[in-house]
Each structure stands twice: as C-alpha cells, then as structure tokens.
C-alpha cells in the first residue's frame, strides 16, 4: 500500500484538480464550524466551491451537457445551486427525480442513468416528463419502449476501469458488440437511438482512460451507421477526481486527452457530448468534522489506535479496502506526529478506516479533539443516509409468533 506519511498538518488546499485560489481568504467551512460548533459527525458543504467546479468544467468542455450525478451528494441545496447554474442531472431512481424536480429542474434536464430500473419507475419518470434513458439490456429496452414511447435512449457499454480507485466491476454496461444490435432494436421499437455511454470508473487517476470508452463508442456508431441507424451522442460518464492524499492530475490533462480521443475517433464528425460528474463537482467542496472518541496505545507499542465518531457505516463507506484516503486536519496540528490506525465508533470489527495505509497524527491527540476529513463532499452523507441514491429505507415489520390468529 502507498506510503502516506505526514498526512496531517496538511493545511494547504487539495492537490491536483483540487487547487483553490487564495489561502489567505477565510475558510467559510472553518468559520461555520468555529462559530456554530455543530454536533459531530457532520458534513459541511461550501456551495461556492460547488459553483466553481461546475463553471470550471463548463469552461473546459463548453459543448458538453453537464449532468450532475445526484448520488454523489443529494443535498437539496447542492441540487438547487446546480439547477440555478443551468446544469442537467443524472438520476438513478424515482426519489432522485422527485428531488431534482422539487428543486426546480426541468424534466428535459433529467437523464435516467440507471440501467437497472423497474418498469413502473420508467413509466412514472415518463409521466413526469423525463425523455432520456440509459439501457444495456433487451429486457430494459422493451420496458422503455412500452412505457416511455418515443424517448431517447443511449446504451451503456462495459469498459476497462483500470486506473480507477473505485471501479464499477461488471454490474453495468454491455459489450460494444451487443450495444449496436440493442440500439438498432430501439429504433425498431419506435425509440430515438441517441448514443452510447460508459463509466471509466470513479476517481479515475489516468486521464487517458477515456480513450477506452470513446473508442468503444466509435465502434458502436460505425456498426449502427452501417445498418442505417445514425447515432448522435457520446456520454463520457463520471470519473473525474477529487483531491485525496494521492494527488490527481489537473482537469486540463483530462480534457486534453478526451479531446484528442474525440478527434482521433470522430474527427470532424464530433458527436453531441454529455458528461456526468459527481465526485468532481462536490468532493472538494465538503469537510467532514468528527470528534476523537478515544485514543489507545496498541499492545505492541507501535501505533496508537484513534477512534473517531465517524466510521464505515455513518459516512465513510469509501474507506472500504482503503480505496479513498482522505486528507486530515486536527485541532492539534503542529504538535509532533506519530503513526496511527484510524477506526470508527461501532462495535463492528470491519469498522476500521485505515490500517494498511500509513497515517500520522499528533501524538497529543485525545478524546474530545476534532479531526476533519477534507474533500469529503462526495459519497459520504449519501452513503450513510437511509436514503442512499433516493431509494427508501428498508421498512421493518414485526410479527409475534405467539399471537396466532
Ligand atoms: C455514479 C455515477 C456517475 C458519477 O461518477 P463520479 O465518478 O462520481 O463522477 C456518473 N454516471 C453514472 C451513470 C453513475 O452511476
């Protein structure tokens, strides 16, 4: 595992794409935390940083339609802010559609980007005015054709997620060879065969990775065109990074490689573009404040264990496998550092945040001190809530085996 010594005491701004201007300006998140002293753990988002990120991407890819991936952070204020900026939205469920509409998003700005959806949820989205759907299977396509007639569909293809810190595995997307027949079928069913999408894996640290998806899209375009079904759109998915301990390349590197790949594969016949950033828009805009519950010296005297009131189950799901390594800031920064294991507060043995990754924290740290996890605006609150991705919490029913009717 990567050696990440001296990960605390980091007072500078996120590395790579996470650069912020003017370290002299007062940090509004710190100000809020100092003044309000909210109960921990809590996540504080800076909407100004969300705006900056959106505008940065808008400028870098002026002809791409930006669909914010709502699951990264469904805070209503964040969604509302993005509605105000003219963003579109990538949603996964009726709950996320309702949220976007409630915050003023137009139905035409919504892309139903989940390949796994119930027929009645498609029908409901259609009734609400949504006309853009992803698909990757014949069964889902038939449902769309029947309950969302005439809609635009794009097909998600499976691509290599190498270079991603949190790859998707094989759950979504079909091979490019299957995508073309599906899109031709879409047209036979009266749908608008619109284009191709892919997701190169979240927190993608290799700017060249998009070539896999853009190249695959071109092959699907060619196959469909040869059968008289011209496609028009390439959806670049998510994958743009936030700033964790491992620095990420700047946005310009990603955009340059994406542009090169578009030129190489499509030349002058550049397709319409969609992009679905989640982490990039909200990751660096949030700070998660936690409190130290306890510090205990380990038996071997090597590393102390620092237990926080935030853990795997109330917001730090992405520490699983130590995939995402947050930068930390503490109330005792500046004091001498020592190696630590970081763990969450629950009685679950897996609720350990970092033990393979080397973290160092001030040796003076003790219960009641605070530890901030920086760049924690993406996939934290949404994973911890009982409403992740807009799906309702699992209801609990009780029966009593002794009470027979
Ligand atoms: C989660 C998701 C995204 C956002 O991915 P990031 O890596 O956070 O940018 C985009 N598109 C789809 C379909 C997703 O499921």
List, in order of start, the domains of the chain with CATH numbers. 18-44+283-399 (2.40.37.10), 47-282 (3.20.20.10)
Q: Quick check: CB of 236 below 6 Å from ligand 1?
A: no
Q: Quick check: CB of 67 below 6 Å from ligand 1?
A: no
Whether 285 shows a pLDDT value over 70: the answer reads: yes
| Ligand 1 atom with minimal separation from the 238 CA | 9
Token pair recorded at residue 203 = 């927190």
Mutate to test the pocket of ligand 1, among 50, 64, 72 (most ligand atoms within 8 A of CB): 72
The confidence score (pLDDT) of residue 390 equals 65
The confidence score (pLDDT) of residue 389 equals 64
Angle in degrees, CA 95, 100, 106, rounded to 5: 130
What is the percent of the chain with per-residue pLDDT over 90, rounded to a whole number?
81
Q: What is the mean pLDDT of residues 132-153?
A: 98
Whole-number Å distance between alpha carbons of 207 and 353: 28
| Residue 387 pLDDT level (bands cut at 50, 70, 90) | low
| Ligand 1 atom with minimal separation from the 281 CA | 9
The confidence score (pLDDT) of residue 314 equals 87
| Ligand 1 atom with minimal separation from the 202 CA | 7
| Residue 391 pLDDT level (bands cut at 50, 70, 90) | low
Q: What is the pLDDT of residues 80-109, one digit of tens each?
A: 999 999 999 999 999 999 999 999 999 999
Whole-number Å distance between alpha carbons of 1 and 4: 9
Q: Quick check: CB of 156 below 6 Å from ligand 1?
A: no
The confidence score (pLDDT) of residue 171 equals 86
Q: Quick check: CB of 96 below 6 Å from ligand 1?
A: no
Q: What is the pLDDT of residues 152-202, one digit of tens each?
A: 999 999 998 999 999 888 889 999 999 999 999 999 999 999 999 999 999
Query: Which one of 174, 224, 347, 398 is the catalytic residue?
Result: 347
Distance 278 CA to ligand 1 centre (A): 6
What is the overall mean pLDDT for the chain?
91
Distance 401 CA to ligand 1 centre (A): 45
Q: What is the mean pLDDT of residues 300-328?
A: 92
The reply to whether omega before 303 is within 30° of 0 (cis) is no
Q: What is the pLDDT of residues 216-257, one digit of tens each?
A: 999 999 999 999 999 999 999 999 999 999 999 999 999 999
State how far Cα 184 lies from the chain centre. Answer: 31
The confidence score (pLDDT) of residue 128 equals 98
Whether 133 shows a pLDDT value over 50: the answer reads: yes
Q: Quick check: CB of 72 below 6 Å from ligand 1?
A: yes
Distance 249 CA to ligand 1 centre (A): 19
Q: Quick check: CB of 289 below 6 Å from ligand 1?
A: no
| β partners of residue 26 | none
Whether 60 shows a pLDDT value over 50: the answer reads: yes
Q: Quick check: CB of 207 below 6 Å from ligand 1?
A: no
The closest residue, in CA terms, to atom 10 on ligand 1 is 238
The confidence score (pLDDT) of residue 398 equals 63
| Ligand 1 atom with minimal separation from the 168 CA | 15
| Residue 72 pLDDT level (bands cut at 50, 70, 90) | very high
Whether 18 shows a pLDDT value over 50: the answer reads: no
Question: HSE-up of 278 (CA within 13 Å, CB side)?
Answer: 26
Range of lowest pLDDT (39-53, 171-185, 247-261, 382-396):
382-396
Distance 174 CA to ligand 1 centre (A): 17
The confidence score (pLDDT) of residue 53 equals 97
Q: Quick check: CB of 280 below 6 Å from ligand 1?
A: yes
| Residue 4 pLDDT level (bands cut at 50, 70, 90) | very low
Whether 14 shows a pLDDT value over 70: the answer reads: no
The confidence score (pLDDT) of residue 382 equals 85
Q: Quick check: CB of 69 below 6 Å from ligand 1?
A: yes
| Residue 300 pLDDT level (bands cut at 50, 70, 90) | low
Q: Quick check: CB of 74 below 6 Å from ligand 1?
A: no
The confidence score (pLDDT) of residue 374 equals 97
Distance 238 CA to ligand 1 centre (A): 4
Whole-number Å distance between alpha carbons of 58 and 377: 20
Distance 239 CA to ligand 1 centre (A): 7
Question: HSE-up of 255 (CA within 13 Å, CB side)?
Answer: 13
Strand positions, DSSP E, 283-331: 286-297, 304-308, 328-330
Q: Are 262 and 270 in contact (CB under 8 A)?
A: yes
Q: Quick check: CB of 200 below 6 Å from ligand 1?
A: no
| Residue 21 pLDDT level (bands cut at 50, 70, 90) | very low
Q: Are 231 and 220 in contact (CB under 8 A)?
A: yes
Whole-number Å distance between alpha carbons of 271 and 63: 10
Burial of 266 (0-12, 13-18, 19+ CB in 10 A): middle
Q: Which of 327, 222, 326 is nearest to 266 (CA)?
A: 222
Q: Is 398 a catalytic residue?
A: no
| Residue 3 pLDDT level (bands cut at 50, 70, 90) | very low
| Ligand 1 atom with minimal separation from the 72 CA | 8
Strand positions, DSSP E, 225-384: 233-235, 272-275, 286-297, 304-308, 328-330, 337-343, 352-362, 370-373
| Residue 1 pLDDT level (bands cut at 50, 70, 90) | very low
Whole-number Å distance between alpha carbons of 93 and 396: 21
Whole-number Å distance between alpha carbons of 323 and 140: 32
| Residue 294 pLDDT level (bands cut at 50, 70, 90) | very high
Whole-number Å distance between alpha carbons of 235 and 154: 8
Q: Are 307 and 345 in contact (CB under 8 A)?
A: yes
Q: What is the mean pLDDT of residues 66-71?
A: 98
The confidence score (pLDDT) of residue 6 equals 36
| Ligand 1 atom with minimal separation from the 113 CA | 13
| β partners of residue 67 | 88
């Amino acid at each position: 595992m990567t050696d990440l010594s001296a990960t605390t005491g980091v007072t500078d701004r996120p590395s790579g794409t996470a650069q912020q201007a003017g370290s002299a300006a007062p940090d509004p998140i710190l100000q809020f935390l100092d003044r309000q002293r909210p109960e921990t753990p809590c996540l504080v988002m800076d909407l100004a940083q969300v705006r900056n990120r959106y505008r940065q991407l808008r400028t870098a890819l002026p002809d791409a339609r930006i669909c914010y991936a709502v699951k990264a952070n469904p805070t209503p204020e964040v969604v509302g802010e993005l509605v105000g900026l003219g963003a579109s939205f990538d949603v996964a469920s009726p709950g996320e559609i309702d949220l976007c509409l409630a915050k003023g998003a137009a139905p035409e700005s919504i892309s139903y980007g989940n390949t796994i959806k119930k027929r009645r949820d498609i029908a409901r989205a259609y009734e609400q005015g949504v006309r853009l759907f992803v698909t990757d299977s014949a069964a889902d396509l038939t449902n769309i054709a029947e309950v969302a007639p005439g809609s635009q569909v794009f097909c998600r293809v499976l691509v290599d997620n190498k270079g991603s810190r949190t790859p998707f595995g094989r759950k979504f997307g079909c091979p490019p060879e299957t995508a073309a027949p599906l899109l031709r079928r879409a047209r036979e069913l009266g749908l608008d065969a619109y284009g191709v999408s892919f997701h190169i894996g979240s927190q993608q640290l290799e700017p060249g990775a998009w070539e896999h998806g853009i190249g695959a899209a071109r092959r699907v375009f060619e196959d469909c065109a040869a059968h008289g079904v011209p496609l028009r759109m390439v959806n670049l998915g998510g994958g743009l990074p936030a700033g964790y301990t491992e620095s990420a390349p700047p946005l310009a590197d990603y955009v340059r490689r994406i542009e090169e790949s578009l030129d190489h594969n499509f030349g002058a016949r550049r397709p319409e573009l969609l992009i679905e950033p989640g982490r990039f828009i909200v990751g660096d805009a949030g700070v998660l404040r936690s409190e130290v519950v306890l510090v205990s010296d380990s038996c071997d005297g090597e590393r102390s264990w620092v237990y926080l009131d935030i853990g795997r189950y109330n917001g730090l799901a992405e520490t699983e496998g130590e995939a995402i390594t947050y930068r930390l800031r503490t109330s005792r920064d500046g004091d001498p550092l020592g190696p630590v294991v970081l763990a969450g507060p629950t009685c679950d043995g897996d609720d350990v945040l970092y033990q393979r990754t080397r973290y160092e924290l001030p040796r003076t740290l003790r219960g009641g001190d605070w530890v901030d996890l920086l760049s924690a605006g993406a996939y934290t609150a949404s994973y911890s809530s009982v409403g992740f991705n807009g799906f309702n919490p699992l209801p609990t029913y009780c029966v009593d085996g002794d009470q027979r009717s």
